[in-house]
Structure 1
Amino acid sequence: MSQLELRGIRKTYPGIAEETLKGIDIDIASGEFLILVGPSGCGKSTLLNTIAGLESITDGAIVLDGQDISTMEPKDRDIAMVFQSYALYPTMTVRENIAFGLKIRGLPKADIDREVARVADLLQISHLLDKKPSQLSGGQQQRVAMGRALARRPRIYLFDEPLSNLDAKLRVEMRTEIKKLHQRLGTTIVYVTHDQIEAMTLADRIAVLKDGELQQLGTPKEVYDTPANLFVAGFMGSPAMSFVPVTVARGERGPEAEVRGEDGRSLTLPLPDYLADRVGQRVILGIRPEHITQPQAQKQDSRLVATGAFTIEVTEPTGPDVIALIHLNDTPVHCRIDPEHPVTWGESAELMFDMKKVVFFDPETEQRIAPH
């Protein structure tokens, strides 16, 4: 297990004025599973490539176990990378693919055979060792690519969108396998994905990138419950958080704000006390689907709960719940409804707003307004 430090990593490509990476600072603890997440073009794969040594950095330092490896050749970094394309040698068997890196390093044949058997058993691919990549499914090829990396026993593992070529069911299965593998081996992993569900389920910590800048670094719970800004809040979560512009007013029991539906009906929502100093100001209310549900008796006594009727515009049954769409203050808002509490599009439904975990953003800076 190894510790990795990214210190002020900058990357500029010749002929391109704007930096691709703009001073990334991340400390990755030994044995940690860190996921780099963000939209296409945000710099996450570039950052991974700089760690591997496939791309040079313009400024900053990459420090592995106290040693600056920024200018080292990739082969000297003792880092293994699993690519999106798997990059298996088509003319070699699974056994030969896994053993290739070990042969290059000059290990004795007995040691290589023992290591291949260990990895194949770990990944449950022992029965595939004599097959060629063309005879394997996508999921099996992915396991072989992981096996080749695991056989080297490197200090750090890098994964570059390893599941993006798999179908939805297989992605879920492989996600579980990677999670189990990390729990068994306790290895240090840096993993790139644009899939925020993958990030939430796999990571110890998530680094959210946008336009080459680190927007937030935290546990999945921190990033989901207390997003640093509007971008992070909108990127993490499915369906995404809804952003409703409201004006903070002074109510009898504390701050409040009015929301109005497309049908003209309105509801006064209670706001947390830390917004008392923003009375008269506009803020953006960030609310996730699970905070708007069917009425629940056990929550009704809280000051930060309100119930009102609004017209349901669309319903999307998912099995465990129904995602319903309403409009508040001219903004589309998703609600998460229990399928045992049926709602029908085009009709009015009683909805409960649980404001305890709702977050608020400054419309000018787009930063989350923190409790004080």
Structure 2
Amino acid sequence: MATLALKHIRKTYRNADIETLKGIDISIDSGEFLILVGPSGCGKSTLMNTIAGLEDITAGEILIDGVDVAQVAPKDRDIAMVFQSYALYPNMTVRDNIAFGLKIRKMEKANIAQEVDRVAAMLQIDHLLDRKPAQLSGGQRQRVAMGRALARQPKLYLFDEPLSNLDAKLRVEMRTQIKRLHQQLGTTIVYVTHDQIEAMTLADRIAVMKDGELQQLGSPKEIYNQPSNMFVAGFMGSPSMNFIHATVDLDGQNQPVAVVRVGEQSHALPLPASLRERDGQSIVIGLRPENITEQAVESELMARLPLTIDVLEPTGPDTIAMVTLNGQEVACRISPDFEAKAGETLPLSVDLSKAVFFDATTEQRIVI
């Protein structure tokens, strides 16, 4: 497998004078699974296409195993790409679709047959080899598209939203299939998705993009627990992180607190001691739904607040409760066995030890 380094990648569409990629820097180790995420129009698919050679870059370097391939033709980059649309040849059987790239490379027939059988068995589509794409389900077509890429054994695999056309159940099954394949083969993969669940479950590292810029690059755990700014914090997680605007005050013991409103009453939320230096400043408290729950938390940075349940959303393993805190809607995650009804006021624990704090002006995370 190969390493990939993207250095200062810029892409400008001259006819529209729009800079789509604004100096992207990412390095990927051999065998690493990197996922590009971000909202529609953020540039993630454009970046993928520049790696594949389907689009030229305006500036920068694309290094595969240390060699700049920015001016190399797509067919000579030794990259396999799996598309959202499958891109199968409808008049060919599954066997011929998988073998197509090998035939183009003029591999011997016996070796082609052996490779097709190997890949088909790995993807559990060996019983489909004599069918044509029209006779396959969406999930089967996607596996054929993956098989065609795997049969080539290139240096680098690119997946461009490969599961977006599948239903929810199939998406989960194919995620597991892709994860298993990566663990077995140790391939180097760059994967584009707008689905944060795919990103969290599949990736070794995640690159979060917005407006053509890289917002944060890190492991799923880092992205989730230590987001670099409010955009990353709000984009990753379902439901997304709650943002509570507050001002840092000092209590009678000179400890920092944030005063919030619950209905007509005010309550003080304890803050980390390091925020004392921000006395009088506006901050944003980022709290994941699981940090507001019915269970008591043993922590000095915990507050018990009487919160009224506006809406309950059972999900099976837990229940999302929507409450109003500081005049805004806040999502809480409570146990499905906890007796709660809409309109009921219940004491819920707010765990500030797990909170992430942001500068209200710059929206960047405050390192504490």
- Length-normalised TM-score, structure 2: 0.98
Instruction: Return the offset for 1:328.
Output: 1.4
Distance in 2, Cα, partners of 1:221 & 1:8: 26
Give the secondary structure class of the aligned counterpart of 2:57. Answer: coil
Instruction: Return the offset for 1:253.
Output: 6.9
Give the secondary structure class of the aligned counterpart of 1:31. Answer: coil
In the alignment, which residue of structure 2 is the partner of 1:183?
A: 183
Structure 1: runs of 5+ lacking an equivalent: none
- Structure 2 residue 320 is the aligned partner of structure 1 residue 323: yes
In the alignment, which residue of structure 2 is the partner of 1:172?
A: 172
CA distance 1:230–1:334, change in 2 (3 Å):
same
Letter in 1 for 2:349: M
Letter in 1 for 2:293: T
Structure 2: runs of 5+ lacking an equivalent: none
Give the secondary structure class of the aligned counterpart of 2:166. Answer: coil
Distance in 1, Cα, partners of 2:51 & 2:131: 32
Kindly report which structure 2 residues correspond to 1:52-71, keeping only aligned pairs within 5 A, or say none. 52-71=52-71
Instruction: Return the offset for 1:17.
Output: 2.4
Kindly report which structure 2 residues correspond to 1:1-372, keeping only aligned pairs within 5 A, or say none. 1-251=1-251, 252=253, 254-261=255-262, 263-296=263-296, 299-300=297-298, 302-371=299-368
Distance in 2, Cα, partners of 1:217 & 1:332: 29
Distance in 1, Cα, partners of 2:247 & 2:278: 9
Distance in 1, Cα, partners of 2:106 & 2:322: 61
Letter in 1 for 2:197: I
Letter in 2 for 1:254: Q
The answer to whether the 8 Å contact 1:265/1:310 transfers is: no
Letter in 1 for 2:258: A
The answer to whether the 8 Å contact 1:33/1:205 transfers is: yes
Give the secondary structure class of the aligned counterpart of 2:13. Answer: coil
Distance in 1, Cα, partners of 2:273 & 2:28: 36
Distance in 2, Cα, partners of 1:17 & 1:226: 35
Distance in 1, Cα, partners of 2:162 & 2:136: 16
The answer to whether the 8 Å contact 1:295/1:350 transfers is: no
- RMSD after superposition: 0.9
| Structure 1 moving runs of 4+ over 4 Å | none
1:173-198 deviation line (CA, Å, top 9, x unaligned):
10010000000000000000001111
The answer to whether the 8 Å contact 1:315/1:344 transfers is: yes
Instruction: Return the offset for 1:281.
Output: 1.0
| Deviates further, 285-294 or 342-351 | 342-351
Distance in 1, Cα, partners of 2:151 & 2:100: 9
Distance in 1, Cα, partners of 2:269 & 2:341: 24
The answer to whether the 8 Å contact 1:247/1:281 transfers is: yes
Letter in 1 for 2:166: L
Could you tell me the percent identity over the aligned residues? Answer: 67
| Deviates further, 344-353 or 144-153 | 344-353
The answer to whether the 8 Å contact 1:243/1:284 transfers is: yes
The answer to whether the 8 Å contact 1:295/1:307 transfers is: no
Instruction: Return the offset for 1:359.
Output: 0.5
The answer to whether the 8 Å contact 1:13/1:20 transfers is: yes
Letter in 2 for 1:319: G
The answer to whether the 8 Å contact 1:62/1:69 transfers is: yes
Distance in 2, Cα, partners of 1:335 & 1:305: 15
Q: How many residues align?
A: 367
Letter in 1 for 2:312: T
Give the secondary structure class of the aligned counterpart of 2:250. Answer: strand
Instruction: Return the offset for 1:308.
Output: 1.6
Distance in 2, Cα, partners of 1:311 & 1:239: 19
1:142-171 deviation line (CA, Å, top 9, x unaligned):
000000000000000000000000000110
Give the secondary structure class of the aligned counterpart of 1:370. Answer: coil
- Length-normalised TM-score, structure 1: 0.97
